[in-house]
Structure 1
Amino acid sequence: MAMVTLSSFSASVVLTRGGQTGKSSRSFFFKPLLIFSSRFVTLKSTFATKMLASSTAFVKTKPDSISDAKEASTSKIILACPICYDQLISKGDPILSVDSAPRSSLQCSTCMKAYLGNDTHIDLTVASGAKEYGEAMPASTELFRSPLISFLYERGWRQSFSIWGGFPGPEKEFELIKEYLKPVLGGNIVDASCGSGLFSRLFAKSGLFSLVVALDFSENMLRQCYEFIKQEKSFPKENLILVRADIARLPFPSRSVDAVHAGAALHCWPSPSAAVAEISRVLRPGGFFVATTYIVDGPYAALPLLGPLRQSIGQISGSHIFLAERELEDLCNACGLVGFTSKRNRRFVMISATKPS
């Protein structure tokens, strides 16, 4: 039962005015309630409910459990217009899931642009719906959009990471990820650059998150993820949605996401700084960013031409070479994330950082 304890002299009330909140001590507001006690008066949840219904004030209470946080996270659509960043309004099925994506119809209340679902996912890229306009993407981005790479990704491509990169394998990686994300279990999570949904499906089946957003720029990767889901019996489709989006233009309101995971993806992003800045924007205070990538250090980092070479590679292919963990820490700090940690195994590195509370 939620309870609010009021001091005999003052009470902390959160006032909402013009979209902002602030604390104010208004002892006179509660004075009639305090005449029978010189120290404390405890008001039960019936009074708290009335206060919450007020248009001018509410009493802030802390959720009693993870289930309260889950209920809050699933109570609204967190998808936003990638142009305006305003929350999208559903014009069809209000419950978004794998099954409802084909009939989904979302609209931005600001620019009025409509975003429609297709057979497998919802397209929330800026150019969604354009018939004539197109943009050339870096080679690394286009590579993962091909049907062949999408088909091979979980049929040998991803497994090779363990052999030459030191990746511990999906099951071990998933256990490490869960350790990092313990503080936000029960909330929502975005699996950024999800590929064929290897970790998106693990997140959904774990039941540890109220909503899982499998997000990738590759239409074929999302289609492959959808095919894998269809092949699994009793897959929990109600807490997973597939979204096509640009990592540098995430379709979520600011401060709306509890966790972002990016598996073996950071080095493939055309602009890691733009992507991590977007991740920082959408994370709630206290939210977590967890990612895996490659580190080229040791004797390789001492090569005199490696610095200019990696810049040239980045410009041409869109792929990036990271020379040290401190470089990734500096990237996170520059984008407003703190508490950087890392775990290494040969070339493999798993990093985490947090949005300040």
Structure 2
Amino acid sequence: MKTVVGNLCSPFLLSQLGNSRPCLLKLRTSAASPLFKRSFAAAIKVRAAAYSAVVGVEPTEPVVVQNDGISSNNILACPICYDPFSSSGDPGLSVASVSGSSFQCRTCKKTYFGNETHIDLTTASGAKDYGESKPVSTEMFRTPLVSYLYERGWRQSFTVWGGFPGPEKEFELIKDFLKPVLGGGNIIDASCGSGMFSRLFAKSGLFSLVVALDYSENMLKECYGFIQQEDNFPKENMILVRADISRLPFATSSVDAVHAGAAIHCWPSPSSAVAEISRVLRPGGVFVATTFILDGPFSLIPFQRKIAQRTKQMSGNQLFTSESELQDICQACGLVGFTKVRNGRFVMISATKPI
């Protein structure tokens, strides 16, 4: 048992990790706040800020996000058939309004429910006798203890051993990559953990809707608790969603940006997840992610590739040994304009859905 726990706590397991027919959305609340609509009129060039601890970024061409008619705030869809939910009554979604709400798909006839903290939009939602087993790294982050510790020292330790520039500087870098889509659109904070960056996105005022998404119920409960502790938190432009990263409950081409902080290496299948991200992004939408790269001195380790493969088989964790692996994943999933920032083992990448 001690050996298993030791493996789970290794540096490589430290982070979390559209079709046309309508569905029916019922909201049983009277306090849902309206959310403002967004529009984009010009292309903004991608650039990244330079910091003393972080090297420069390779620039990309300007992009324009296209709006295909789907509201930036009405993006939820059935995770089985991907048909978007249409609203019945007040369409507003917020941290407060999801409690007691129900979402019934007119196509596959399945109903999803919101509880006090989040909306459960996994495909197995509501199943009484069936529970899917996930890789060790995924299940670890579903435990109450790890969820509690995640933002109370665990995530912050990445700055010490992983080269992460710290939440504040990391957030500034993220915003630079997202400049082409800023201006009132929506963003998915995928595998958000306890919502450290989800809350920063919401408080920034740069988005009309922030979706804090994670597979761990306990992580989402921690996120909800942090929100409740903050005075004047903008709950009206944020929702918490439980979902599988490889089966995202959003309409095709409905999302302006997806952020995945220190998460991609924890996904059971990074390529399947990035393919889903590519599906839900609007043309011109941006994907930003951070992870670790084991190159440099680590490349001298004998049988490094086989060790990475065995780690993946045993824990579900992906060990990236080069930046080109991440670029290959993005390109294979139809994303273009790959850019990056490096600092030691830390890397932040960005790619765009073609227009």
What TM-score range do you get, normalising by the shorter chain?
0.7 to 0.9
Among candidates 213, 227, 233, match of residue 235 of structure 1:
233
Among candidates 252, 255, 258, match of residue 253 of structure 2:
255
In the alignment, what sits opposite 2:82? Answer: 85
Matched AA of 2:122: T
In the alignment, what sits opposite 2:164? Answer: 167
Counterpart-to-counterpart distance in 1, 2:274 and 2:350: 12
In the alignment, what sits opposite 1:215? Answer: 213
- Say how many residue pairs are matched: 295
Matched AA of 1:150: S
In the alignment, what sits opposite 1:143? Answer: 140
- Aligned pair in 2 of structure 1 residues 126, 258: CA closer, same or farther (>3 Å)? same
Q: Does 1:309 align with 2:313?
A: no
Counterpart-to-counterpart distance in 2, 1:232 and 1:83: 35
Structure whose alpha-carbon radius of gyration is higher:
1
In the alignment, what sits opposite 2:282? Answer: 284
Among candidates 292, 295, 310, match of residue 294 of structure 1:
292
In the alignment, what sits opposite 2:92? Answer: 95
Deviations 1:228-277 (A, max 9, x none): 00000000000000000000000011111000000000000010000000
Counterpart-to-counterpart distance in 2, 1:153 and 1:97: 24
Shift of 1:354: 0.3
Among candidates 316, 336, 339, match of residue 341 of structure 1:
339
More contact order relative to length (CA 8 Å, sep ≥ 6): 2
Q: Does 1:134 align with 2:131?
A: yes
- Aligned pair in 2 of structure 1 residues 63, 167: CA closer, same or farther (>3 Å)? closer
Q: How does 1:24-63 map to 2 (within 5 A)?
A: none
- Aligned pair in 2 of structure 1 residues 277, 63: CA closer, same or farther (>3 Å)? closer
Matched AA of 2:186: N
In the alignment, what sits opposite 1:330? Answer: 328
Question: Helix, strand or coil for the counterpart of 2:349?
Answer: strand
The alignment's C-alpha RMSD in Å is 1.9
In the alignment, what sits opposite 2:102? Answer: 105
Counterpart-to-counterpart distance in 2, 1:65 and 1:351: 24
Matched AA of 1:352: S
In the alignment, what sits opposite 1:13? Answer: none
Among candidates 203, 206, 210, match of residue 205 of structure 1:
203
Shift of 1:203: 0.1
Counterpart-to-counterpart distance in 2, 1:167 and 1:64: 34
Q: Does 1:187 align with 2:185?
A: yes
Shift of 1:93: 4.9
- Aligned pair in 2 of structure 1 residues 338, 121: CA closer, same or farther (>3 Å)? same
In the alignment, what sits opposite 1:15? Answer: none
Question: Helix, strand or coil for the counterpart of 2:99?
Answer: helix
Deviations 1:272-324 (A, max 9, x none): 00000000011000000000000000121132311111111101101010001
Larger displacement relative to structure 2 (229-238 or 97-106):
97-106
Shift of 1:172: 0.4
Decide whether the 8 Å contact of 1:90 with 1:107 is kept in 2. no
In the alignment, what sits opposite 1:51? Answer: none
Question: Helix, strand or coil for the counterpart of 1:339?
Answer: strand
Counterpart-to-counterpart distance in 1, 2:161 and 2:88: 48
> Of Structure 1 and Structure 2, which has the larger fraction of its residues in strand?
1
Q: Does 1:244 align with 2:242?
A: yes
Q: Does 1:266 align with 2:264?
A: yes
Question: Helix, strand or coil for the counterpart of 1:85?
Answer: coil
Deviations 1:171-222 (A, max 9, x none): 1000000001011012100000000000000000000011100000000000
Counterpart-to-counterpart distance in 1, 2:143 and 2:198: 20
**TM-score (structure 2 length as normaliser):** 0.80
Counterpart-to-counterpart distance in 2, 1:286 and 1:75: 14
Larger displacement relative to structure 2 (299-308 or 89-98):
89-98
**Stretches of structure 2 lacking an aligned partner (at least 5 in a row):** 1-19, 21-38, 44-65
In the alignment, what sits opposite 2:63? Answer: none
- Aligned pair in 2 of structure 1 residues 310, 64: CA closer, same or farther (>3 Å)? closer
**TM-score (structure 1 length as normaliser):** 0.79
Counterpart-to-counterpart distance in 1, 2:42 and 2:177: 19
Counterpart-to-counterpart distance in 2, 1:220 and 1:89: 29
Matched AA of 2:141: F
Among candidates 175, 179, 183, match of residue 178 of structure 1:
175
Matched AA of 2:130: Y
